[in-house]
Structure 1
Amino acid sequence: MTLPLSGRRAAVVTIDLHRGHLDPQVATMPLPADAAARVTKANAEFLREVRNQGVPVVHVVTSYRSAAEIASNPWWAAVADTGASRSNAMRHQLPGSPGLQLMPEVYEADYDLVVDSKKRYDCFVATDLDHVLRSRSLDTLLLTGVNTNSCVLATAVAANTRDYVPVVVEDCVDTMDRHLHDAALAVIRQAFGWVAPAQDVLEALGDSR
């Protein structure tokens, strides 16, 4: 399916490309080290190219004031300290944590915008992401980041319901739940948006200018 970028105003929206997922030394919910390195490198390369094309970059980062904000979600409270992949939920992205920092490879301070108030899987909930996008007349979201089957999926669905164009950059997303990565992309592709490799997205961006 052709990417619908012609006549659109696109921004890259990265999701949780922070040390809390991607730096094995400090991560509270780490991806496997090889996956973390791979997705960090892929994002760094993709973001460098889109900046060269003048595409805005918005990083959305999970951050909590306290564990109580996390525990107010019944699911996270239920799986905390169990065998679930999110069992460390109550210790994830708390004040003072080095996990709150974006991976340095993906962040360009003089160019990128940061929305650092994300509380839930959906990047629009309890953040000013919608305002950031609409105030700049941006209508297309090139989604990258972590985790494919939770935050990326939820944000693609939310973008669809708000009438944005969601495009998931498939080699720039990954998940702790690796067995669900492809299934999440299939769900998005079937009902909510587009899924394409970075090279195809870059070529479509070039053709749309």
Structure 2
Amino acid sequence: MADVLPLVETRLRTALGEPDARAAVTFLGTDRIEVLRFTDGTGGGTDTGIVRYATLGMSAQPMADPTAVVADPVAGPRAELVLSVRAGAADTDKVLRPLAVLAASPQVEGLVVAPGASLDVGEPLWPGAPFTSVLVAEAGGLIEDLELDAPLDPVRFLPLLPMTPNEAAWKRVHGAGALQERWLTSGTDLRDPSRTSVPLD
């Protein structure tokens, strides 16, 4: 069976271009997780472009149902995580380790990461960040799913949307769809690394 990760990296490069940085993190008892940084220089300067951070390694193993007695080594959803922020406004490169922690959570905690889920790292995503958690959004926009040979599930590239603590608490009560609707109607720039919470009254 083909190694999944080279195919995943090829898909990332096809969609986002060449990464300009990468870091690897290994947690005890887990496979290595890499985080690749892709910089979009549109707008003529580093402070006007978009920087994207994508994990590489989460999809090496399928995510297992935490209630299953024995994890299936082949079948099950596979995913990588993608975070997009505006470059130059904050030291967002420090997000590499928190992203790797989130990408390792299926192996460490037996989580199945899916759209609508909240993931919390328990600390600011980067120094001074007003966010400690993210909302997992639907895949398929920026990077198309990577189809694998049967019986493997496709790899989905799940966007992460940073949430303030107030937004995360509100989402727990009202749901992911309601929070995304608030963001949409308020014209929230979800890529702004220093944005404030959307009005939740």
Q: TM-score range by the shorter chain?
A: 0.3 to 0.5
* Larger relative contact order (Cα-Cα within 8 Å, sequence gap ≥ 6): 1
Q: Which structure has greater helix proportion?
A: 1
What TM-score do you get using the length of structure 1 for normalisation? 0.31
Query: How high is the TM-score relative to the length of structure 2?
Result: 0.32
